[in-house]
Amino acid sequence: MSAVIGIGSSPKRKEDARFVRGKGTYVADIKRPHMLAGVFLRSEHAHANLKSIDVSKALAQPGVKAVYTGEDMKADDVGGLPVGWGITDKNGDPMKEPPHPPIAQGKVRYVGDAVAFVVAQTVEQAEAAAELIEVEYEVLPAIVGLVDALRPDAPQLYDEVENNLCADWDLGDAAAVDAAFAQAAHVASIELVNNRLIGNPLEPRAAIGEFEYATGQYTLWTTSQFPHVVRLLMGEMVLHIPQHKLRVVAPDVGGGFGVKQFHYAEEAVVTWAAGKLGRPVKWVAQRSEGFVSDAHGRDHVTEAELALDEDGKFLAMRVKTLANMGAYLSTFGPNIPTNLYAPLLSGVYTIPSIYCEVKCVFTNTVPVDAYRGAGRPEATFVVERLVDMAAREMGIDKIDIRKRNMIPKEAYPYQTPVIVEYDSGDPLGCLERAEELADVAGFEARRAEAASRGKYRGLGISTYIEACGLAPSRLAGQLGARGGLYESATVRVHPSGVVTVLIGTHNHGQGHETTFAQIVSDRLGVPFEDIDIVFGDTDKVQFGMGTYGSRSLVVGGAALSHASDKVILKGRKIAAHQLEASLEDIVFENGEFSVAGTDRKKSFQEIAGAAYVPFDFPLETLEPGLEEQAYYDPVNFTYPGGAHFAEVEIDPDTGIVTLERYTAVDDVGTIINPMIVEGQLQGGIVQGIGQALFEHGVYDNASGQLLAGSFMDYCMPRADNFPQLKIEPHSTQCAHTPMGVKGCGECGTIGSPAAIISAVVDALKPLGVAHVDMPASPNHIWNIIRNAPAPIAAE
C-alpha cells in the first residue's frame, strides 16, 4: 500500500511495527563498549545530617571502579539542578530557591535522596558494594504534611528558608472578590485535598553517560521527554559542558506522563562520572527506586469559596491552596500549582472576579512536579467540587447550575479575570451532547434498580477547560519561564521525494510518528509510507522544547505545517521555472504542481529530483535542495474542554465503588487521527479515575517513609476496573493554530477526577455526604457510611 493518508484518517500506528515485535530501543537496551554499571545509595531517612560517609570498604570490593559522594561533585564544581521556571512572591520577592545538589551534600531531605553513586563492572557488584558504604546519619525530625510544615515549630528543611515557605504567590483582584462576596446571596465553601500521585510510567528511568577524550564530546542517553532541554539545563547549569560538546539522546521511551520532563540528578551524575572514568556509565532505575526518585504529582490542600447571587449565578471565587514542593524544587515544580493552576480557575464559567493564593511549601518528601494535567486537574477539581457544593446547598440541579453559568459559544474569545483569554469553545454544546450520550434522563430509573439490589448508584458530572499547547514564549517569560516554549520542525525532502521530518517534540507513546506523517502526507501529497519522523537526538534534530503540556501537535505540528508550507513554496518556484509560468500561476494540489487552468504539471517527486539535480533550475535566484525548517511560537494557549459524566455504584457492605458508566464529550479542535485521539482520551480518563478511586502516594507522618512505595501498596488502575468508555468529540476549531488543533493528551486526567467524586457523593446523597476526598477507596467509603448519622437505607 502506498497512498496519501491525510488528516482525519486512522491508519495503524507506524511505530507499532517495532513495538509490538519487541524491537523498540530503550535506554536500558543500549550497550556501549566498555560500559560500567552505576547504582545509587539512597537515603533511608527523610531528614538527617550527613555526619560522615566512609566508602573505603565499598571501594575495595571486586569490580568497583569508583564511589562518588556529593562532596566529590562539589570539589569538581558541579552545579545544582536548575529550576526552569521562577515565580515571584506576592510581596515582590523571588521564590526561595535553595541549592539542589545531584548527590546530597551535608544533609538528606527525603527518603530516596541520593547519598552516593557506586560504579562497578556489573550492577550486582555495584549493589553489593553500595551495601558496604558506611553512612553516619544524624536523624532529624521530618515533616511531610503541608499544613504542619508551615507551623513555626515545624522541622526546617533549610536554614535559609523560613517556615519551609518557598513562595506565597497570588493572582487576581482580591478587593473585587471581597466586594462581590460581601453582596452574595449565598457562599459555598469547601476544603479539599488533591492527593499525591506517583506517575509510574511502564519503563523506569535510565541514563547512560559517555565521554570521548579525543573529541571532548559527551553523550547522554536518557529516558527524557525533552532531550534538548536536558542538554541546555545540564550542559550550561550543572556540568558546564558547551552545547556543541554535548549530545543528548532520548531514544524510544516507554511512557512519560510528565515524570520524564525534568532534568534529573541521575542524568548529570552518569555524564559526570563517565567523564571522570573515561568509560560509559549506565544507570537503570529499579521499580522501587522510581517510587522514591521520580518526581511525584499533585499534593494540594485547598480551601475555596464561591459567591453566588440568588439565582445561582457565580459572582466571585476565592481559593487558598497549599502546594507541596517536596524537598527540593524540581525543574517546573513551582510553576505547576501557580501559573498552570490559578489561570484555570474560571473553568468554563463566567465568573467576574477570582482571587487565588498559593503557598508553595517544602516538605521531607520526593520533589513534586508536573504529572499529566499538571495544575489543571487540581484547578478543575476545585471549581467543579465548589459548583456541586453550591448546587446542593441552593437546591439547584447540578447540571442546571452549570448551564446557567457557562460561557456562551458566541462570547468567545472570552477574557477571564485570571490572565487567559479563551479563543474558542462550546461548553454548552459539549454538555448537552454528553447529557444525551450518558442518558442522564434514564438515570433515576437506574438508581432505583440499583437500590433494589441494595446498591447506591450515583451520577457525577464535571466540565473542564485546560490551557495547553505550552506556550506563548513572551507571556511565559512574563510569568517566570526561563526559556522559550516554541517548537521547531525540519522537512527534509530527499531527491526521490521521500521525506524525513526532524522535530523537536518527543514521542513516548502518543503516536507522533503516525500523526505527524499524516500531516505531511496531507500537505505534500506524499505517500504516508514515504515519510519518517525523527526525534529525540540533539545531534539530528535542530532544536526543540520536547513533549509535555499537550503541546506536540499544537506547537510542533504548527512548526511542521509551516515548514511544509515553505517546501510547497519552494517547489512552486522550481515548478514555475520548469513549466515556464509565473509563480502566481502555479498551484499545488494532490501532490502535483500545475499551471492553473492547464494540464501542464510536475509531480512532487519530479520537483524533488530537480531540486537535487539542478540542471533545469533557477540557480540565479534559488538554492538547490529541498529542505525547509520552521520555528513556531504560539500566539496563545489552546483551550480544549468538555463535559464528562460518571456513574458509579457503591456496595454499602464493603464500601467498594464500581464505575458503571463513563461518558466524555471533548472539544479538542481538529482531529488528525481519530483512533489516536480516542486512545489519548481513554488513557487520560483512566489515569484521572486512578487518582479519584485508587492512587495515593501516602507518607508516614512520623518517619517520612513512603508507605505506598511499591505496586503492592500503590494502587494502579487496571483494565478490570473499567467499563467501556463512551467518548465522542465535539470540536470547535482553535482560532489561532494553523490546523485548528487544540491538543488532547491531558483532557482525561483533567475532566475525570471531579466527575467520579461528584458521582460518589451523589451515590451517598441519602447519607447527607457533601464531599469525599480522593481516593474514594473502600475503607474510606465504608468509614463514611459507618459514621453517617442515618442508618443505611437505599432510596
Partner 1 sequence: MRSFNYHKPDTVDGVVSLLAGNENASVIAGGMTLLPTMKQRLAAPDDLVDISGVAGLAGVSMDGDMLVIGAMTRHADVAESEIVREKLPALAKLASRIGDQQVRHRGTIGGSISNNDPAADYPAAVLGLNAEIVTDKRTIPADEFFVAMFETALEPGEIVTAIRFPLPELAAYAKFPNPASRYAMAGVFVAKTGDGVRVAVTGAGPGVFRASDIEAALAESFDAGALDRISIDASELMSDIHADNEYRAHLVMVMARRAVGMALDAG
Phi, psi angles (nearest 5°) of residue 252: -60, 135
Give residue 366's region: left, alpha or beta (phi > 0; psi -120 to 50).
beta
Query: What is the rounded distance in angstroms from the CA atom of residue 508 to the CA atom of residue 531?
Result: 19
**Least separation in angstroms between CB 284 and partner 1:** 13
Stretch that binds partner 1, among 55-63, 74-82, 552-560, 650-658 (CB under 8 A): 650-658
What is the C-alpha to C-alpha distance for residues 324 and 166, in angstroms, rounded to an integer?
Answer: 10
Q: Which of residues 774-793 bind partner 1 (CB under 8 A)?
A: 777-779, 782-783
Q: Pick the closest to residue 456 from 723, 77, 763, 229 (CA basis).
A: 763
Beta strands 107-108 and 48-54: pairing type? antiparallel
Q: How far is the CB of 61 from partner 1 (least distance, A)?
A: 13
681 binds partner 1 (CB under 8 A): no
Nearest distance in Å: CB 329, partner 1? 28
Q: CB nearer to partner 1: give 174 or 698.
A: 698
Does 653 sit near partner 1 (CB under 8 A)? Answer: yes
Which of 60, 445, 702, 716 contacts partner 1 by CB under 8 A? 716
What are the distances in angstroms from CA 31 to CA 221, 230, 260, 280, 469?
Answer: 11, 21, 21, 9, 36
Candidates 4-12, 103-111, 627-635, 772-780; binding stretch for partner 1 (CB under 8 A): 772-780
Between 27 and 128, CB nearer to partner 1: 128
Residue among 563 and 693 whose Cβ is closer to partner 1: 693
Q: How far is the CB of 474 from partner 1 (least distance, A)?
A: 45
Q: Which of 454-462, 544-552, 600-608, 652-660 is the region at the interface with partner 1 (rule: CB under 8 A)?
A: 652-660
Stretch that binds partner 1, among 93-101, 127-135, 147-155, 204-212 (CB under 8 A): 127-135
Q: Out of 16, 54, 93, 131, which residue is the one contacting partner 1 (CB under 8 A)?
A: 131
CA 53 to CA 638: how far, in whole Å? 51
Q: How far is the CB of 131 from partner 1 (least distance, A)?
A: 8
CB of 17 closer than 8 Å to CB of 532: no
C-alpha cell at 118: 557506586
Measured CA to CA, the distance from residue 75 to residue 367 in angstroms comes to 25
Burial 594-605 (b: 16+ CB within 10 A, else e): bbeeeebbbbbb
Of residues 133 and 747, the one with the C-beta less far from partner 1: 133
HSE (side-chain half, CA atoms, 13 Å) at 335: 22
Residue 278 CB, nearest distance to partner 1 (Å)? Answer: 28
User: Does position 702 bind partner 1 by CB under 8 A?
Assistant: no
In angstroms, what is the minimal distance from the CB of 779 to partner 1? 5
Q: Which three cell numbers stand for residue 780?
A: 474510606
Candidates 184, 675, 707, 792; binder of partner 1 (CB under 8 A) is 707
Radius of gyration of the chain, Cα coordinates, nearest whole angstrom: 28
C-alpha cell of residue 673: 487521527
Distance CA 19, CA 758 (A): 38
Site string for partner 1, 273-302 (x = CB under 8 A): ---------------x--------------
Of the candidate spans 12-20, 26-34, 140-148, 706-714, the one that interacts with partner 1 by CB under 8 A turns out to be 706-714
In the complex, least distance from residue 128 CB atom to partner 1, rounded to whole angstroms: 7
By CB under 8 A, residue 124 contacts partner 1: yes
What string of DSSP letters covers 421-466? EE----HHHHHHHHHHHTTGGGHHHHHHHHHHTT-EEEEEEEEEE-
Tell me the three cell numbers of residue 302.
485547598
Q: Which of 68, 211, 218, 694 binds partner 1 (CB under 8 A)?
A: 694
Is residue 598 near partner 1 by the rule CB under 8 A? no
Distance (Å, rounded) from C-alpha 523 to C-alpha 559? 13
Q: How many other C-beta atoms can be found within 10 angstroms of the C-beta atom of residue 695?
A: 25
Judged by CB under 8 A, does residue 712 bind partner 1?
A: yes
Judged by beta carbon, residue 682 or residue 705, the one nearer partner 1 is 705
Cell numbers given for 162: 523560613
- Measured from the CB atom, the residue of 415 and 783 that comes closer to partner 1 is 783
CB count within 10 Å of CB 29 equals: 12
Stretch that binds partner 1, among 104-112, 330-338, 558-566, 773-781 (CB under 8 A): 773-781
Tell me if 127 contacts partner 1 by CB under 8 A. yes
The nearest distance, CB 456 to partner 1, in angstroms, is 16
Smallest separation, CB 715 to partner 1 (Å): 4
* Closer residue to partner 1, CB minimum distance, 298 or 573: 298
* Contact region with partner 1 (CB under 8 A), list: 111-119, 648-656, 732-740, 760-768: 648-656
User: Which DSSP letter does residue 525 get?
Assistant: -
Largest alpha-carbon pair distance within the chain?
90
Q: Which three cell numbers stand for residue 213?
A: 577524550
Q: Is there binding between residue 128 and partner 1 (CB under 8 A)?
A: yes
Query: What is the C-alpha separation between 519 and 468, in angstroms, rounded?
Result: 20
Q: Which is nearer to partner 1, 127 or 173 (CB)?
A: 127
Q: Give the residue from 97, 96, 63 showing the smallest Cα distance to 80.
A: 97
Task: Evaluate whether 466 touches 420 at the Cβ level (below 8 Å).
Answer: no
Nearer residue to partner 1 within complex by CB, 444 or 713: 713
Grid cell locating 33: 563498549
- Minimum CB separation of residue 140 from partner 1 in Å reads 24
Position among 372, 492, 696, 736 found at the interface with partner 1 (CB under 8 A):
696
- Site residue total, partner 1 (CB under 8 A): 25
Laid out side by side, the sheet with 217-222 consists of 64-69, 114-120, 36-42, 281-284, 206-212, 217-222, 246-249
Scanning 99-107, 134-142, 637-645, 710-718 for contacts with partner 1 by CB under 8 A, the matching segment is 710-718
Residue ranges in 224-283 that form contacts with partner 1 under rule CB under 8 A? none
| Contacting partner 1 within 457-496 (CB under 8 A) | none
Nearest to 51 by CA among 105, 88, 120, 114: 105
Looking at beta carbons only, is 138 or 713 nearer to partner 1? 713
Q: Is 411 in the site for partner 1 (CB under 8 A)?
A: no
The one-character DSSP state at 85 is B
- Work out how close the CB of 720 gets to partner 1 at its nearest, in angstroms, rounded to a whole number: 10
Query: At residue 465, what is the residue type?
Result: I
Nearer to partner 1, 116 or 567 (CB): 116
| Whole-number Å distance between alpha carbons of 297 and 259 | 9
User: In the set 35, 174, 715, 792, which binds partner 1 (CB under 8 A)?
Assistant: 715
**Amino acid symbol at 145:** G
Binding site for partner 1 (CB under 8 A): 124, 127-128, 131, 288, 653-656, 694, 696, 698, 707-708, 711-716, 777-779, 782-783
